[in-house]
Structure 1
Amino acid sequence: MTDTALIVVDIQNDYFEGGRWTLDKMDQASDNAARVLAHARKTGAMIAHIHHEIPSDEAPFFQPGTKGAEIHPKVAPQPGEEVILKHEPNSFLNTRLQDTLSSRGITKVVIVGAMSQMCVDATTRAASDLGYKVTVVHDACAARDTEFDGVAVPAAQVHASFMSALDGTYASVVDCESYLTSA
């Protein structure tokens, strides 16, 4: 039994080309996430797929019951893997994630997914605050262009800003190749 869990955060159809809230480099990020997922399956790590739904008819994406809210086939859960529904950016908030990890003796979590500036950030910080040793595989995460106070911020800068803020304080932030060769 391993003390490590992979948390796959919100790799859902709406984030891909043709979806309602597309992210920059989502195909590349999901390919790397699939590689990390295959490694977790091979090594026997616990796997938790986080599935975000926004329960509102006015939600811009991830509306319950839509194709866009479904987990993307690249990282589809297999039998025996946890699928945890959430309604907030933090995967621990009002979900069974913490209880599930605790019941299995998990002390380390690896995080991949989307969006870097929202759910990946919130989940990483919460995991660290809860005492987990956290690794984020940065090129298995994706961001979206954003704007603040009239300043447009390209997705690459959004992603780099959030990863740099997490690295060293809340998590060890590594690339996919480094993770796979050291894990």
Structure 2
Amino acid sequence: MIPSVYLVLDMQNELVHEDGPAAKGPMGALLKQRSTLENTQLAIERARAAGVKIGFVRIGFSADYHECPSASPLFGGAAKSGMFQLGTWGTEIHPALDQRAGDIQVTKHRVSPFYSTTLMAQLGAAGIRRIYCSGVSTQAVVQACVRDAHDRDFEVIVIEDACCAHSEQEHQNSIQSIARFCTVEKAATVNFAA
């Protein structure tokens, strides 16, 4: 079996918990409709059973937000709203997802999980050559992860039904856009033991 990791991308309370701020927007309803949390947990269970490492990636900033790009249309308002502050409930991984000691943990300050993080060092130390991934949102972190991983010569598999965007059309457009850089699978049928 090729040394592999399943990266669970940005599945943190602020973005996917029913009590988080994102639940009030269009993605909240779509997360339920698509069973994104349930499919993610199923994929985690199946990956662990196959001996695949699990990694959790979150977006987070220090209390003073010194890493936060104030000019960013995506993150610029984080300090004002108090979002993505490390050490708070909002940046914790959703409690329905099984985290364990020894799982890869990555905190990022931009969209890509590779940009200025410890991800490459952790993947290198574990000898990882294949990346399974999913998360929210499809048009942001999932696309960034797939493209960056592809350009770093990893084999990439996206678990499509464990991803979600702000609309189903945006999700489908994103999957179509990245399909040439990866393989697209489902949580119940992806072969983690390959």
Q: Distance in 2 between matches of 1:38 and 1:99?
A: 25
Which residue of 2 is the match for residue 10 of structure 1? 10
Which residue of 1 is the match for residue 30 of structure 2? 25
Q: Distance in 1 between matches of 2:134 and 2:148?
A: 15
In the superposition, the TM-score normalised over structure 2's length comes to: 0.81
Q: Distance in 1 between matches of 2:127 and 2:38?
A: 29
1:175 paired to 2:186: yes
Relative to structure 1, the CA distance from residue 163 to residue 93 in structure 2 (aligned partners, 3 Å threshold; closer, same or farther) is: same
* 1:145-183 deviation per Cα after TM superposition (whole angstroms, max 9, x unaligned): xxxxxxxxxx0000000001111x211112223315885
Identify which of 31, 47, 52 aligns with 1:45. 52
Q: How much does 1:63 deviate?
A: 2.6
Q: Distance in 1 between matches of 2:178 and 2:3?
A: 22
Q: Which residues in structure 2 correspond to 1:54-65 (within 5 Å)?
A: 54=61, 55=65, 56-59=78-81, 61-65=83-87
Relative to structure 1, the CA distance from residue 59 to residue 121 in structure 2 (aligned partners, 3 Å threshold; closer, same or farther) is: farther
Structure 2, unmatched stretches of 5+, are 66-77
Q: What is the root-mean-square deviation in Å for CA atoms of aligned residues?
A: 2.0
Q: Distance in 2 between matches of 1:93 and 1:79?
A: 24
Which residue of 1 is the match for residue 121 of structure 2? 99
Which structure shows the bigger proportion of residues in strand conformation?
1
Q: Distance in 2 between matches of 1:181 and 1:82?
A: 17
Identify which of 103, 110, 113 aligns with 2:135. 113
Could you tell me the percent identity over the aligned residues? 27
8 Å CA contact retained: 1:166, 1:173: no
In the superposition, the TM-score normalised over structure 1's length comes to: 0.86
- Aligned length in residues: 172
Q: Which residues in structure 2 correspond to 1:117-132 (within 5 Å)?
A: 117-132=139-154
Q: How much does 1:42 deviate?
A: 1.3
- Deviant stretches of 4+, over 4 Å: 180-183
Q: How much does 1:125 deviate?
A: 0.8
* 1:111-133 deviation per Cα after TM superposition (whole angstroms, max 9, x unaligned): 01111111111111101110000
